[in-house]
């Protein structure tokens, strides 16, 4: 006769696992609920953006998210300005918003512009502009004048940059952008009220 092992080996009784599973499920649900919120749009993980010299070219967004506030259209009214590049004078108009009014209060200005990503020309302003009432971001059009808050840059858009948080549209050129686009880096611009 061969003895069987099953009678000599005993397994401990199974413990109920629900006391352990329940806290894990509740923790997962709580973590998921905390991560859900309104879509703020694309974000840049670093404070740099389209107006910053250290902003990588590949992070330019090309699609605009749904926005909670409308993007301003063409500028109607506002402060007329002139932009002088060497002997050429270009006209534009600032928008009627707190950020544009803050820029108008700093005029006249002479700034040094450089190209950024072959879609915009940027120049550092002497001081930050007001962001009162400004949307979280914008998708500027070609010919727009913008302010990029994270870097404090004034921006002339001659190409499509897409939506970025931190962009405020503050004006619009009256003419085409060839004169701006054709400039090499480090060109001087004099901006003043018309």
Tell me what pLDDT residue 105 has: 96
Tell me what pLDDT residue 91 has: 97
Q: Where are the beta strands (DSSP E) in the chain?
A: 80-85, 88-94, 109-116, 120-124, 137-138, 144-148, 153-157, 164-165, 167-173, 187-193
Tell me what pLDDT residue 78 has: 85
CA–CA dist 105, 5 (Å, integer): 93
The domains of the chain are located at 74-193
Phi, psi of 28 (to 5 degrees): -65, -45
Q: Could you tell me the fold of the domain covering 74-193?
A: Cyclophilin (2.40.100)
CA–CA dist 169, 171 (Å, integer): 6
Say if CB 113 and CB 156 are below 8 A apart.
Answer: yes
The pLDDT tens digits along the chain (194 residues) read: 555 555 455 555 555 555 665 566 656 655 555 544 444 444 443 334 444 443 433 333 333 443 333 444 445 578 999 999 999 999 999 999 999 999 999 999 999 999 999 999 999 999 999 999 999 999 999 999 999 999 999 999 999 999 999 999 999 999 999 999 999 999 999 999 99
Q: Which pTM was predicted? A: 0.64
Phi, psi of 33 (to 5 degrees): -65, -35
> With DSSP H G I counted as helix, E B as strand and the rest as coil, what are the percentages for the chain, rounded to 5?
15, 30, 55
Query: Could you give the C-alpha distances from 135 to 102, 115, 138, 184, 188, in angstroms and in order?
Result: 16, 25, 7, 32, 30
Tell me what pLDDT residue 69 has: 37
């Amino acid at each position: 006769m061969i003895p069987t092992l099953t009678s000599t080996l005993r397994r401990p009784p199974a413990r109920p696992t629900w006391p352990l599973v329940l806290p894990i499920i509740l923790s997962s649900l709580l973590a998921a609920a905390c991560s859900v919120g309104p879509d703020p749009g694309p974000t840049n993980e670093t404070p740099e953006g389209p107006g910053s010299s250290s902003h990588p070219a590949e992070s330019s967004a090309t699609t605009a998210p749904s926005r909670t506030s409308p993007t301003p259209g063409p500028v109607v009214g506002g402060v007329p300005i002139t932009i002088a590049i060497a002997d050429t004078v270009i006209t534009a108009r600032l928008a009627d918003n707190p950020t544009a009014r803050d820029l108008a209060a700093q005029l006249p200005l002479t700034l040094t512009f450089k190209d950024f990503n072959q879609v915009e020309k940027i120049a550092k302003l002497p001081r930050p502009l007001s962001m009162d009432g400004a949307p979280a971001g914008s998708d500027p059009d070609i010919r727009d004048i913008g302010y990029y808050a994270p870097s404090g840059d004034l921006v002339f858009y001659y190409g499509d940059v897409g939506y970025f948080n931190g962009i405020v549209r503050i004006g619009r050129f009256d003419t085409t952008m060839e004169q701006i686009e054709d400039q090499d880096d480090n060109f001087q611009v004099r901006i003043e009220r018309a």
